[in-house]
Amino acid sequence: MILLNLHFFLPMERIKENKVSGKDKKIICYHCGDLCLEDYVLHEDKNFCCNGCKTVYEILKENDLCNYYDLEKNPGISLKSRNLGEKYNFLDQEDIQRKILDFKERSTAKVHFYIPVIHCSSCIWLLENLYKLKEGIRYSRVNFAKKELFIDFNPDRITLKELVSLLVTIGYEPFISLEQETRKKQKAVDRDLLIKIGVAGFCFGNIMLLSFPEYFGFEGIDDRIIHRFISWVNVALALPVVFYCSTEYFKSAYSGLKQKYINIDVPISLGIITLFSVSVIYVAFQIGPGYLDSLSGLLFFLLIGRWIQNKTYEGLSFERDYKSYFPLAVNRFQNGDYHSVAVNDLKEKDSILIRNQEIVPADSILRSEQAYIDYSFVTGESEPVQKVQNELIYAGGRQVGSAIRLEVQKKVSQSYLTQLWNNEAFKKKDNSRLQTMVNKISKYFTAAVLFIAFSGLIIWLGISMEKAWFVFTAVLIVACPCALSLSTPFTLGNAMNVLGRNHFYLKNSFVLEKMMKISHIVFDKTGTLTHSKKGFIQFKGNNLNSQEKIWIAQLLSNSTHPLSRRILNSINTTLIPVPIHEFKELKGKGISGVVEDHEIKMGSLDHLNDISDSPNSISSDDDFRHSQVHISIDKRYRGYFSIENDYRNGLKGLMLRLGRYYDLSVLSGDRETEQDLLKSLFPEGTSMKFRQQPEQKLDYISSIQEEGGQVLMLGDGLNDAGALVKSDLGVAVTEDITAFTPASDAILDAGNLHHLDKFIRFSVTAKHIIIASFIISFLYNIVGMGFAVLGKLTPIVAAILMPASSISVVIFATFAVNLMAKQKKLI
C-alpha cells in the first residue's frame, strides 16, 4: 500500500506505460505526463491533468522558467491528491527550526532537504533556479545522487515555512524528519575512504616507478648511494600506506580476534605487517629492495574493492522507523486555539486535531462523534474502520474524512505501535555476526597458511637458518588473501548493480549473500501481492437499462462476497429497497434471487445453466487477471462483468517457479475472504494465515527460523515492519521507490515482483562466481607458495604474481557477473 498515494513514476516508464495502455491517442498532461482523465484542464493549448499542474505551469511561466519543459518531456510531479492545508505550520516554531536548519545567523540560514521525487535534469534545473521564484533565496544546489537540496536563504525575507510551501506548490515536497542529523555522519566516512584510495594510489605509483630499475635487473648499479636512497624513499612512501590506509583492516582484525573469531582481515593484516617489516629489515641491512611495491599495490586494490562494496543507493533510505512515518507536529488545542506542536511534546490529556489523511500520532480517545480510521499501514487491513465517540484509536491510523478531535492517552513514545517497535527483535539483527562466505573460509585459510609457513621453516632450518626465515616470511607474504578478499566485493558489487537496474535495490552486498541461502519465502498480502489501485470493472454484453441495474444492485447488496461488493460499488445506481424472494448464495458458484418477479442469476457460467440462449459472444480473456461474473435475467443471458484483479501481474507464474525451490507462506492482516483466490494462485502446500497482527507475523517468522529456515519476507507496510526486520532478508515492496518503505534490507519495485525468482536465482549464480574466483585465487596461491617454499620468491616474482592475481580475479568477477546477467536477461 502506497502511503503517500502519489502516482509518479520515473518519466521514461511513465511514457512507456501510456503508450502501452493507449489504444487511441491518449491525452498526456503537459506538466507531469500522467494520463488526463475526463476532467482535465485545457490552458494555452496545453493539457493538464489537474489544476495543480496548471498552477505550477503558470508559476513557472510567470517567472520565465519554462526551460523546465525543454530539458525533459513532461518532467513535472503530479499534484493530484495533495493537500497542503496548514500541514507545515509547525515550521514556524523555533525549536523545530533549530533542528532542521543546518546553520542560522541573523540574515543567513542554510538548510538541506531530502526530496525523494527528484528524478531528472529538469528537476535539477528548476530547483537550482529557485531564487528566481521567491526573493530571499540566495542559492540552491541539488545533490542528485542523494536527492538532496541545499538552500541558502535569508530568513528575514522568507521563512522556513514559506520555503517549504514553495517547494510543495511546485511539486517537490521535501521529506522532513528530525532524523536528518544521522545522515550527515555517513558522508564523512565515504570521503575518508576516497582519500585513502588516493593516498594508496599515489604511494603505489611512485614506489612502482622507483622500483623499475630493480625490475629490469639493474641491481648491480654502480652507484650504491642512489640505490640506498631509492630504497629509503620507498620505505618512506610505504609508511602512509601501512599506518593510514590499512588502519581499517587492523581494527577489524583486532576486534575479530578479541571476540575469538578469525575474519578475512586477520590474514590480510598478517600479510601487511609481514610485508612491511620484512621489507624494512631488507632495506636496513641492505639485503634487497623488499616488497614495498607489492604491499602498496595490494592496499590500493583492497581499498578499491572496499569502495565498490560500500557503494549503495544513497537516494533510498533503508533504515526508516516509525518516526519517519509519524508526523512531526500536530495541532494541539490550548488557550482557546489550535497551535501546532512537536509530536514529542504531546502530553496525556492533550486535545489534538487530526485532519483528513493525517496520521494519529499517539494512542488517543476519540472526542468527535465518529471517525474512519485507515489502519492499512499498521495492520494490513484494507478497509477503513469506523470508530465512534470515546473509542480508543491506536497511533498509526490515518483519518479518512473530516477533521476529528482526539484526547491523547499515552505519550508518543509509549504508544502501542512505538512499543512494538521497541520489541527486542528490532535490535537483534545488529548484534548477529556477519557470517560471510569469505569469513568462513578465512579461518581455514589462516590455519593452512600458518601450517605451511611453519613446516617450511622447520624443513629449511636443517639446511640454512637464513634461508628458513626467508621462506617463512615469503609464505606469509605471498599468501596474503588479497585476491580472495577482492572476489567477493567485486562480484557482489556488480551483481547489486545488475539488480538495481531491474529496480531491486539492496541495502548492501551482504544482503546478496543472505539471499543465496533463502529457503522459505513469506508474502504479505495487502499491498504486496495486491496493488493499491482498485481494479477496473467493465460490463460486456447487452447494455442494462436503469431498472435492471436497480434489480442487480438489490441482489448484490444481499451478498457478502467481495466480488459482489465491488460490482455493487461500480454500478452507479441508488439502492431502492425492493423485496427479494428466494435469495440463494451458492458457494463458489454465484447468487440468485427473484426481484419484482424477475429471476436474476449472477455468477459463473455453469451457475447460469438454465439459460435459453447460449452466450456465444464471450471472449476468452478468462485469464487470472480478470474475474467474470455472468448475469441472466429471466433465463436470458445478458452479459458479464469483467473485473480486473487487485493482484499484481504474473504472480501465478512466479509462485509456480518459486514453489519448486522454496517453501511459501502468505500472511495477511485481512479476513479470509480471498482465500479461494489465493489458493488458486499459490502452489499446494502453501500455508496461509489470515487476521495476522504485527506481532503474530513476527512470531511466525521466528517459528520458521527456529526450525532452521532462512526466511525472505516481502512486505510493504508498518504492519510488516517487525516481520521484515526479524526475517533473514526483509524486502519492502513498493509501487513508488521514493515513497515511504519500512526498514528493510532491500527495496523492490512492485512492477518487478514477478521477477523475484530470477533475482534469487541470480544471487545463487553470484555465489558460483565467487567460488570460481576463489578457485582462481587459490591457484595463484599454490603457485606463489611453490615459489615461497622453494625459497625463490624474489621481490620481482612477488611484484608480478600478487598484482596479477588481484587483477585477474577482479576482471573475472566483473565479466562473469555481466555475462551471466546478460544470459539471464537481466541487463
Partner 1 sequence: MSVIVLLIIFSILVALVFLIAFIWAVRSGQYDDMESPPVRILFDDKIKKETLPHKDSSKK
Give the one residue of 143, 422, 673, 794 binding partner 1; rule: CB under 8 A: 143
- 598-603 β-sheet, strand order: 537-541, 636-644, 626-633, 598-603, 590-595, 580-586
Interaction between residue 703 and partner 1 (CB under 8 A): no
Distance between first and last Cα of the chain: 28
Q: CA geometry: angle at 23 spanning 20 and 28, to 5°?
A: 70
Q: 672-701 mask for partner 1 (x: CB under 8 A)?
A: ------------------------------
Q: 144-183 mask for partner 1 (x: CB under 8 A)?
A: xxx-------------------------------------
- Read off φ and ψ for residue 98, nearest 5 degrees: -60, -35
Interaction between residue 307 and partner 1 (CB under 8 A): no
Of 188 and 782, nearer to partner 1 (C-beta) is: 188
| 31-40 long-range contacts, CB within 8 A, separation 24+ | 31/56, 31/57, 31/69, 31/74, 31/76, 31/78, 32/8, 32/74, 32/75, 32/76, 32/77, 32/78, 32/79, 32/171, 33/73, 33/74, 33/75, 33/76, 34/7, 34/8, 34/78, 34/80
Least Å distance between CB 85 and partner 1?
A: 32
Of 30 and 647, nearer to partner 1 (C-beta) is: 30
- 392-393 β-sheet, strand order: 337-342, 329-334, 351-354, 404-408, 364-366, 392-393
Strands 520-524 and 504-506, bridge-based pairing: unpaired
Of 237 and 302, nearer to partner 1 (C-beta) is: 237
Of 89 and 310, nearer to partner 1 (C-beta) is: 310
Q: Do 761 and 25 contact (CB within 8 A), yes or no?
A: no
What stretches of 394-481 show up as alpha helix (H) in DSSP? 416-421, 425-431, 437-461, 465-478
Question: Residue 95: exposed, middle, or buried by beta-carbon count in 10 A (0-12, 13-18, 19+)?
Answer: exposed
Of 143 and 693, nearer to partner 1 (C-beta) is: 143
Strands 746-749 and 504-506, bridge-based pairing: antiparallel
* Of 86, 80, 77, 66, the residue nearest 170 (C-alpha): 77
**What is the amino acid identity at position 758?**
K
Least Å distance between CB 167 and partner 1?
A: 17
Least Å distance between CB 118 and partner 1?
A: 9
Least Å distance between CB 293 and partner 1?
A: 15
Of 132 and 584, nearer to partner 1 (C-beta) is: 132
**Using CB under 8 A, which of the segments 108-116, 189-197, 538-546, 781-789 binds partner 1?**
189-197
The gap from C-alpha 798 to its chain's centroid, in whole angstroms, comes to: 43
Residues from 111 through 140 that contact partner 1 (CB under 8 A): 121, 124-125, 128
Of 68 and 637, nearer to partner 1 (C-beta) is: 68
Q: Cα–Cα distance between 717 and 720 in angstroms, integer?
A: 5
Interaction between residue 233 and partner 1 (CB under 8 A): yes
* Residue 385 DSSP label: E
Least Å distance between CB 182 and partner 1?
A: 17
Distances (CA, A) of 533 to 5, 564, 666, 792: 10, 18, 21, 71
Of 132 and 635, nearer to partner 1 (C-beta) is: 132
Least Å distance between CB 222 and partner 1?
A: 8
Beta bridge partners of 155: none
Interaction between residue 205 and partner 1 (CB under 8 A): yes
Least Å distance between CB 497 and partner 1?
A: 15
Least Å distance between CB 227 and partner 1?
A: 11
Beta bridge partners of 426: none
Q: Cα–Cα distance between 781 and 801 in angstroms, integer?
A: 9
Of 207 and 518, nearer to partner 1 (C-beta) is: 207
CB atoms within 10 A of CB 708: 8
Q: CA geometry: angle at 383 spanning 720 and 717, to 5°?
A: 20
Interaction between residue 582 and partner 1 (CB under 8 A): no
Handedness of CA 785, 786, 790, 793 (dihedral sign): negative
Least Å distance between CB 720 and partner 1?
A: 32
Least Å distance between CB 121 and partner 1?
A: 4
Residues from 54 through 113 that contact partner 1 (CB under 8 A): 61, 64, 66-67, 70-71
Give the one residue of 12, 195, 388, 804 binding partner 1; rule: CB under 8 A: 195
Of 207 and 658, nearer to partner 1 (C-beta) is: 207
Least Å distance between CB 233 and partner 1?
A: 6
| 384-393 long-range contacts, CB within 8 A, separation 24+ | 390/365, 390/366, 391/365, 391/366, 392/363, 392/364, 392/365, 392/366, 393/360, 393/363, 393/364, 393/365, 393/366
Interaction between residue 198 and partner 1 (CB under 8 A): yes
Rg, the chain, Cα only: 33
Least Å distance between CB 190 and partner 1?
A: 8
Of 144 and 690, nearer to partner 1 (C-beta) is: 144
**Using CB under 8 A, which of the segments 187-195, 422-430, 587-595, 777-785 binds partner 1?**
187-195
Q: Say what angle helices 180-215 and 795-823 make with each other, to 10 degrees.
A: 130
Of 42 and 226, nearer to partner 1 (C-beta) is: 226
Q: CA geometry: angle at 51 spanning 49 and 54, to 5°?
A: 80
Q: If you count DSSP H runs as helices and E runs as strands, how many of each does the chain have, helices first?
A: 27, 28
Distances (CA, A) of 723 to 23, 173, 674: 42, 30, 22
Least Å distance between CB 229 and partner 1?
A: 6
Of 144 and 624, nearer to partner 1 (C-beta) is: 144
Give the one residue of 37, 84, 194, 458 binding partner 1; rule: CB under 8 A: 194
Of 237 and 516, nearer to partner 1 (C-beta) is: 237
Q: Binders of partner 1: how many residues, by CB under 8 A?
A: 36
Helix H, strand E, coil C: the string for 215-259 is HCCCCCCCCHHHHHHHHHHHHHHHHHHHHHHCHHHHHHHHHHHHC
Least Å distance between CB 821 and partner 1?
A: 23
Least Å distance between CB 61 and partner 1?
A: 8
Give the one residue of 229, 261, 454, 815 binding partner 1; rule: CB under 8 A: 229
Give the one residue of 6, 91, 208, 210 binding partner 1; rule: CB under 8 A: 210
Of 145 and 790, nearer to partner 1 (C-beta) is: 145
**What is the amino acid identity at position 162?**
E
Least Å distance between CB 139 and partner 1?
A: 13
Of 208 and 793, nearer to partner 1 (C-beta) is: 208
Give the one residue of 44, 58, 156, 634 binding partner 1; rule: CB under 8 A: 44
Give the one residue of 89, 206, 696, 705 binding partner 1; rule: CB under 8 A: 206
Interaction between residue 42 and partner 1 (CB under 8 A): no
Interaction between residue 223 and partner 1 (CB under 8 A): yes
Of 66 and 811, nearer to partner 1 (C-beta) is: 66
Question: Residue 416: exposed, middle, or buried by beta-carbon count in 10 A (0-12, 13-18, 19+)?
Answer: middle
**What is the amino acid identity at position 477?**
I
The gap from C-alpha 1 to its chain's centroid, in whole angstroms, comes to: 15
Interaction between residue 189 and partner 1 (CB under 8 A): no
* Residue 577 DSSP label: -
Least Å distance between CB 42 and partner 1?
A: 13
SS3 517: coil
Of 219 and 695, nearer to partner 1 (C-beta) is: 219
Q: Tell me which residues touch partner 1 (CB under 8 A).
A: 44-45, 61, 64, 66-67, 70-71, 121, 124-125, 128, 142-146, 187, 190-191, 194-195, 198-199, 202, 205-206, 210, 222-223, 225-226, 229-230, 233, 237
